[in-house]
Amino acid sequence: MRQNLAVVLRQLHGTGAASRADLARATGLTKATVSALVGELSDLGLVREVDGAVGGRTGRPATLVSVSGERAAAIGLEVNVGYLAIATVDLEGRVAHERLVEIDRDRATPGMVVTRLASLAARAVRALAVEGRRVIGTGLAVPGLVSQPEGRVLVAPNFGWSDLPLTEMLRDRFRRRSIEAGPVATDNEATMAALAHVATMRAREVDSFLAVSGGVGVGAGVVIDGEAFRGSHGFGGELGHFVVDPGGRRCRCGNRGCLETIAGESNLLRAAGVRRGAGGTGLDRIEQRARRGDPRTVDGLEHVGEALSLGLAAAANLFDPQAIVLGGSFAPLAPWLAPVIERRLADQVLGHRWAPIPVVTSSLGRAAAVHGAAQRALTSLLADPSIVARRSRGGDDA
Question: Would you tell me which residues interact with Zn ion (CB under 5 A)?
Answer: 241, 251, 253, 255, 258
Which regions of the chain does DSSP assign to beta strands (E)?
Answer: 47-51, 63-67, 72-80, 83-90, 95-102, 134-142, 145-146, 153-156, 161-164, 184-188, 209-214, 218-224, 227-229, 323-328, 359-361
Q: Are 325 and 338 in contact (CB under 8 A)?
A: no
Least CB distance to Zn ion at residue 242 (A): 9
- The answer to whether residues 194 and 228 touch, using CB atoms and an 8 Å cutoff, is yes
3-state secondary structure of 299: helix
Rounded-to-integer distance, Cα 11 and Cα 27, Å:
8
Please, which residue, 103 or 155, has the CB nearer to Zn ion?
155
What's CA 181's distance to the chain center, in Å?
19
Asked if omega into 295 is within 30° of 0 (cis), the reply is: no
Cβ closest to Zn ion, residue 220 vs residue 274: 220
The whole-angstrom separation of Cα 290 and Cα 270 is: 14
CB of 260 to Zn ion, least distance (A): 6
Q: At what angle do helices 283-292 and 265-272 cross, to 10 degrees?
A: 30
- Comparing CB distances to Zn ion, the nearer of 127 and 253 is 253
CA distance 128 to 388: 14
Compare residues 171 and 241 and give the one whose CB is closer to Zn ion.
241
> How far apart (Å, rounded) are the C-alpha atoms in residues 195 and 370?
10
Comparison of 146 and 258: residue with beta carbon closer to Zn ion: 258
Q: How would DSSP label each residue in 103-161?
A: --GGG--HHHHHHHHHHHHHHHHHHHHHTT-EEEEEEEEESSEE-TTT--EEEETTTTE
Residue 149 has a CB neighbour count (10 Å cut-off) of 10
Q: How far is the CB of 240 from Zn ion (least distance, A)?
A: 6
For residues 315 and 220, the answer to whether their CB atoms sit within 8 Å is yes
According to DSSP, the β-strands at 47-51 and 63-67 are antiparallel
Q: 3-state DSSP call for residue 197?
A: coil
The DSSP annotation for 320-358 comes to --SEEEEEETTSTTHHHHHHHHHHHHHHH-GGGGTS---
Q: Least CB distance from residue 250 to Zn ion, whole Å? A: 9
Q: Judged by CB, which is closer to Zn ion: 270, or 352? A: 270
The CB-of-261 to Zn ion minimum distance in angstroms stands at: 7
Nearer to Zn ion, 255 or 348 (CB): 255
Q: Least Å distance between CB 336 and Zn ion?
A: 24
CB of 307 to Zn ion, least distance (A): 13
Nearer to Zn ion, 258 or 313 (CB): 258
Give the CA-trace dihedral at 128, 130, 136, 140, to 10 degrees.
30
H helix or E strand, kind and range, residue 370 = helix 368-383
Minimum CB–partner distance for residue 144 and Zn ion (Å): 13
Nearer to Zn ion, 251 or 333 (CB): 251
Q: What minimum distance in Å lies between the beta carbon of 245 and Zn ion?
A: 11
Name which of 17 and 251 has its Cβ closer to Zn ion. 251
CB of 259 to Zn ion, least distance (A): 8
